[in-house]
A and B are shown apart, each in its own frame.
Chain A
Amino acid sequence: DVKVTQSSRYLVKRTGEKVFLECVQDMDHENMFWYRQDPGLGLRLIYFSYDVKMKEKGDIPEGYSVSREKKERFSLILESASTNQTSMYLCASSLLTVNTEAFFGQGTRLTVV
């Protein structure tokens, strides 16, 4: 079974803190993705990666950065958390080919106070 694991289910951080969200997959997938999910806006792509040390901006990269030092791990970094980054964050992974589905982690509910 494919497994995508996010390090935390719930997280509360203070404004201005540096926040790390970790995601690990165990299926040797080339692609990994970070999304944020907000009511009425669906899943918006923040960053994705197709290889180790490779990253591509998604639709809403501002205020975020990512790191992929190993194939199985993709980290999302909030350099200085703000209240408008309070959201559900979803990590996913997939093979690179266009005809394969992505597998998702359980999500991290981040609250910035």
Chain B
Amino acid sequence: AQKITQTQPGMFVQEKEAVTLDCTYDTSDQSYGLFWYKQPSSGEMIFLIYQGSYDEQNATEGRYSLNFQKARKSANLVISASQLGDSAMYFCAMRANNQGGKLIFGQGTELSVKP
């Protein structure tokens, strides 16, 4: 069975500092994808970054990077130079091959950026 675990219900970070949001996953599939989404208070779900299980390099998208450690089954999101607009819920998600496209999410981490 697939599972995503986010163990930090809430996090605080000072503006302009970097922050790491933790995500661990469990799957028996060899081919899978890992995603991070942002959900601001408006409620929309915004896709941030993707990492494939066979990708050798960590994914980066602007100020977002994904620290992928396959052996530890972790896919942590790193946000550099935090901004006030980064305050939101962040969700880690996974899709595995041979699962009909099934997409599951973690419990989420609420990030608050302090001025």
Q: Is the CB of B100 within 8 A of A43?
A: no
Q: Is the CB of A41 within 8 A of B96?
A: no
**Is A75 part of the contact surface with B, judged by Cβ < 8 Å?**
no
Given A94-B101, A107-B43, A42:B107 Cβ within 8 A: yes
Q: For B33, list chain A residues within 8 Å (CB).
A: 98-100
Task: State the total of A-B contacts with C-beta under 8 angstroms.
Answer: 70
B residues apposed to A, CB below 8 Å: 6, 9, 31-33, 35, 43-45, 47, 50, 52, 91, 93, 95-97, 100-108
Q: Is the CB of B106 within 8 A of A48?
A: no
Q: Is the CB of A42 within 8 A of B91?
A: yes
Count residues of chain A with CB under 8 A from any CB of chain B: 31
The contact of A90 among B45, B50, B95, B106, by CB within 8 Å, is B45
Q: Is the CB of B97 within 8 A of A35?
A: no
Q: Is the CB of B103 within 8 A of A94?
A: yes
Q: Is the CB of B107 within 8 A of A50?
A: no
